[in-house]
Chain A
Amino acid sequence: MPRALCIGILLALLAACGSNNAPPANLDAAFPPESGGTMVDAMSGEPSGLIPMIAGESAASAVASHIFNSLLKYDRNLELEGELAKSWDVSPDQRTITFHLKPDLKWADGQALTSEDVLFTWKLVTDDKTRTPYGADYKLVEKAEAPDALTFKVTYGQPYAPALDSWAGLQVLPKHLLQGQDINNTPFARNPIGSSYYKLDEWKNGERISLVRNDHSVLGPPRIDRLVSRFIPDPASQFLELMADNIDVMNLNPIQYARIVPARPQLNKRIALYKELGNGYTYLGFNLKHAPFDDVRVRRAINYAIDKQELIDGVLLGLGEPIAAPYKPGTRWVNPQLKPYPYDPNKAKQLLKEAGFEDHDGDGILDRDGKPLSFEILTNQNKQREMSAVLIQRRLKEIGIDVKIRVLEWASFLGRYIKTGDFDVVVLGWSLSLDPDQFSIWHSSQNKPGQFNFINYNNPQVDKLLEQGRLELDPDKRMKIYHEFSRLLLEDSPVVYLFEGYGLPAISKRIRGIDNPAPPAGIGWNSEQWYIPTPLRRTEISDR
C-alpha cells in the first residue's frame, strides 16, 4: 500500500509542477505590433562556431545571420539591396566596384564599424592560413582598398558577374577584436560581437543558443527581444515539442504538413502553416563517361520514362514543383519557354530502339550486343531520395530497364563512389544559390576528383556560355545567356530534374507580422518585423 501511495504522490507532484501553458483563447484576435517577448525555435544541428566563413554548416549561418551583416543583401523579391552599404557603383569597364557605407555604423560593443573592418574581413577570407572553403570568389579581387572610413573599393582582374552576390555572402567581422588572432581557433567563434539585430546572450553546449536584442543594431531594433534556438536532432521530437507548445517555429516534412497537422483541430488552432519555395532540387544524374549514358538518346529516354508528377505526389505529397532549369522557380533566371520532359513511355521505348536497345532474348529486359540494359542507382540515406529511386525503378522496369538501388552512408558515398567516378547513376540534390553562375557544376574543366562536375558533363557551347555569364554584369544580357544555357542543358539531359520541394515552416500563431503568402525570398526575409503580442507571450519565461 505505501508504495502505491508513493507513486500516487509522485504523479500528483509531477502534474502539479508541469508547466501549464494552455494556449490563451484569443489566438485569432488582431493585435497591434509591439516590442518584446521570446521566440523559441528548433534546429537539428549545433553550430561548430559562429564565424560563418570558418564554420560552414547551415546551423552556423542560420544563427550568424542574426548577428552579422554583409555589405549587400537580397530583398523580399530577391533583388540586391544595400545592408551595410548605402549604395554601390560599378565602373564603366565593369572591373571595379565601389561600396559606400552607411554613416555612423556601430558594432554591438559600441565601437565604430568602418570600411577598415570590411577590408580586414576580405584579407581574412583570402588569407591562405584561414581554413575556409569560401575563399575562391574573393581571391579574384586584385586590389581591395579603403580610401576613407565610408568607402570600400574592389578591383577585379576582369569583370566578374557573381561578384555582387559574393559581397552579399561575406559577413563583415570586427577588426578591433580579431586582429592578431588565429581566426581558425579564436574564442571569438563562441563569443561573437556583430552588428546586426541580435547579439549572443548564452550558448549552452549541446542544448541551445540564446540571442538578445542588440541596441547598437545598424539596421534598427528588431521587435522580438530574444531568440532561443534549441538543438533537437530528431524531427519527431521537434514535432512533439511543437505540439506541446514548447517551441514556436520548426520546418515540417510533407507528411506532418499535409496529413498530421490538418487532422488535429487542437494543433490547427495554435499553429499556422506556411509554404515557401525551396532552395534546392533533387535530380537523377548520369555518369556520362560510362556507356550507354554517353548516348543522349538513352538519357532522354530515361527522362521521358520518369513521371515527375508521380514523384511529387508520392514523395512530397504534392508539395513540390517540377522544374526544367536549375534555378529557383519564379526568378528571372528561369527560362519560361522550357518545359520538363513529359511522361511518355512510348517515346522512351522508341528512343531506346534508335539507340539499339531491344529485347532480343525475350526476358523482358532490353539489350544491345547481348548486354542487358541494367544499372545501379546510388543514393545516400535520405528518405526522399530513396523513395524517388524506388518509384523510378518501377517506371524504368516498365520500359524494360533493370535497375538496382543502393543506399549508402554519406561519407562512403562521396569518398568511395563520387570522388572516384565509380558510379553509373546517382540520385542527389543541388542547392541553389541566388546568383545564376553554375560554372563549378557544369563546366567541362571542373571534372577532376573532388570537383563538382563529377558526372563529366562536357558541351563546348555550354562551357562558352558559362564563361560569358561570369563576365557579363548587365542583368538583362546575363539573363539571356543563362536562358540559353538552361535550354542546352535540358536538351542534353545530363541529369533528370526530378523536383523542387517547398520549404514548409510551421509557426505558432503567437508570432505575428509574417508575410503570407511567402514572397520569393521566403517568410524569414522580414523576421525583425515579427512580433509577439503581450497577452500571447509564454508565461514561464519572463524577460530578464
Chain B
Amino acid sequence: MAKKITDRVTWVGKIDWELKSFHGDELSTDRGSSYNSYLIRDEKVALIDTVWLPYDREFVARLKEEINLNQIDYIIMNHNEVDHSGALVELMREIPGTPIYCTAKGEAIIRGHYHQDWNFVRVKTGDTLPLGETTLTFIEAPMLHWPDTMFTYMSGDNILFSNDGFGQHYATESLYNDRVCMAEVMQEALKYYVNILNPFSPMVMRKVKEVVAMNLPLNLICPSHGVIWRETPTQIIEKYLQWADAYQEDQVTIVYDTMWQSTRKMAQAIGEGIQKASPSTTVKLMNAAVDDKNDILTEMFRAKIVLMGSPTINNGYSYAIAGLLEMARGLKFKKKRAAAFGSYGWSGEATKMITEHLQQAGFEIVNEGIRQSWVPDTDMLQACRQWGAELV
C-alpha cells in the first residue's frame, strides 16, 4: 500500500516482516526490514530505487495502482544491490525506454546483474535533474557501502534520499521515526552501522561531513531500509559522526564458547573481576555459539575492551569463535583493546591462536591471555578475577 509523504512524494516500497536474514545468512534481521522506494510527482515524475527481487511483481502491480507507468520520466538508482534493483527487470519490461540515472559504477553493476542494454544516464556529484518546482541533486557516496552508492537530494521538499546510509532493518507500517519505538530503531540503526558500514567508517565520516557542509535544508532523511527520519533528522547524522569516529563506550564485552562449562566459568570470573575493579564499567558476556553473531559484533563495537575465549579443541579453537574472528577482521574495528582466554585439557593452543587472530584483526593486544587446564578451581577462578581486574 502506497503511503503519501509530502504532496509530491509517495512511498511505494515493500515492508518485509518475514525477513530474518540478509546477505545470505551474514546478517540477522530479527525485526524484518523494508525496501523503500519513492515516487516523486512534480511536472516530471521520478522513481527512486525499487525493491528486492522476490517482490518484483507485487511492486510493479502496486505501482500501477498508484500511477500509469508510462508517466514515469526517470528512474533513479542510488545503489544497485539486488534488494534495491531487484524489480528493475519486471519494471523495465513495462517501460523499457525509461532513462535510469545512476553512477558509472551503478551502470556497470546493473549490467553485471541483469545483462540488459537499458537507457543509462551516468551522473556525478553535483549533477542535477530538474523535475519542475523541485530539483534532484546527486551526491556520489562510494563505499557507503558499495562502489556505486549515491545520495539524491530533492530541493523544495528538502529530502535526502540516502539509500542504505542511515538505514535500519526494521519492519514497520508506521513509516516515521516519531511513530515507532526509538529504542528499537536506534538498536537496529546501530546494528546496521556496525555490520554493514563500519569497514567504511573513514568514508562515512568524510561524506557525512561533506553533506553537512553543504548546509542543505533538511526536512526528511529517507533511507532505503526502515523508518524515515522525520523528527530531528539530524539525530542520525550526529550518531553516524560518533560511530564513524572509533566509537566506544565504557564497556567490556566478553565473548566465549564453552564445551563443558570451564571456559564459561572463566568468563564469568573475569567479568566479576572487571566489575569489582570498575563498577561503572558495563560488562557483557556473550556465548559465541548461542548468541546472535551480529548482536555480538554490535556489542564488540560498543566495547573499549573485547575478551575472547575458547576451549582448545583439536589443537585449535571453536567454530563459533573462528567465525566471529573472521567477521571482526572484516569489520575493521578501530582503537579497541583485546585479549584471549580459555580452558584446555592437554595441548591448549586456543588462547595463543585467538590472540594472534585478534592482533591481525587490528585489535591492540593487552597481554598474552590466560588459560587454565581442565576445570577451574577456586584459586584458578580467583586468578581469572585478578586478570580481569587488571584490565580496567
Chains A and B are bound partners? no
Residues of chain A whose beta carbon lies under 8 Å from any beta carbon of chain B? none
Residues of chain B whose beta carbon lies under 8 Å from any beta carbon of chain A? none
